[in-house]
Amino acid sequence: MPYRCTLLLSALLAPIVSAHDLWLIPPEKASAKEPLKVLAVSGGEFPKGEQPDPAKFAARRAFDPAGKESVLEALAFTPSKSGVHIVAVETTPKLIAMEADAFNAYLVSDGLPHIYALRAKEKSLDKPAKERYSKSPKCLIRIGDGKDGDPCRAVGLPLEIVPMQNPFERKVGEALRVKVLFEGKPLADANLGWHHAGGGEDPLGTARTNAKGEALIPIAQTGLMAIRLTHMTRPKAKDYEWESFWTTLTFRMGE
């Protein structure tokens, strides 16, 4: 097998490594009419990492069980009622320049083999890349009995993982059906990975969305869980050729 084909095959088969993910970590316990705080954590080993300043995020929003939206000054608020609340943030887009080898490795590790294959087809694997990237994580918080509210509500993030079933009603050994939306439309062939707390840097597994943007994510254990995704486009703008969008969905599975 030719050397370049071997590299391409490796890229197609490589797992995701979430080296730069941003997660919103819901509190272990939350009650109506009592202050709660959501942590923003950036890292590669869920849920460990640095805690960026939420004040620097471009947007910080919360949605109560009735769907009412509020803008958060920080990632702390006092829920007025029990039920499922949603917190979501968006970061300010940033530019990054990467050498060819580093960019190729990033494409492999973050589940973007189609971009790697495109560069291979165009014979540009040896060229550096300029990329703009942004992140839009969200978390689900169950307060009280959690019977009110809609965890399957899309909140309009640029790239968003939306449950199609209530994750708080799923059991260990079952699967959670999710849909991926990019700019509000279903995203096919998106490479999702999932993590449980303490599971290490590599995802426990991966799944690609079907033509409707849907995939099944297995539930392996109770506790904190995250689903992640990176999607890349090629706008060929003046200052950058590539644009990536990052998202995570975090929630706590009950017993």
Q: Where are the domains of the chain?
A: 12-95+128-253
* Mean of pLDDT values over 75-97: 96
pLDDT digit string (tens) for 217-239?
999 999 999 999 999 999 999 99
Whether residue 164 contacts residue 186, with contact meaning beta carbons closer than 8 Å, is answered with no
In percent, how much of the chain has pLDDT > 70?
A: 92
pLDDT value for 4: 39
The residue ranking higher by pLDDT, 4 or 162, is: 162
pLDDT digit string (tens) for 128-182?
999 999 999 999 999 987 689 999 999 999 999 999 999 999 999 999 999 999 9
Q: Exposed, middle or buried by CB within 10 Å (0-12, 13-18, 19+), for 53?
A: exposed
pLDDT value for 255: 58
pLDDT value for 198: 86
* Mean of pLDDT values over 74-80: 93
DSSP label of 1: -
pLDDT value for 15: 40
The set of residues, in sequence order, having a beta carbon less than 8 Å from that of 234 and lying 6+ positions away, is 115, 118, 241, 242, 243
* Structural element, H or E, at residue 71: strand 69-71
DSSP label of 116: H
Gap between the Cα atoms of 236 and 242, Å rounded:
6
Q: Exposed, middle or buried by CB within 10 Å (0-12, 13-18, 19+), for 101?
A: exposed
* Mean of pLDDT values over 193-198: 93
Measured CA angle at 184 (ends 168, 96), to 5 deg: 100
pLDDT value for 201: 84
199: confidence class by pLDDT, cuts 50, 70, 90: confident
pLDDT value for 13: 36
pLDDT digit string (tens) for 111-123?
898 999 999 999 9
In this structure, how many other beta carbons lie within 10 angstroms of the beta carbon of residue 205? 14
* Mean of pLDDT values over 102-107: 94
* Structural element, H or E, at residue 4: helix 3-13
pLDDT value for 197: 92
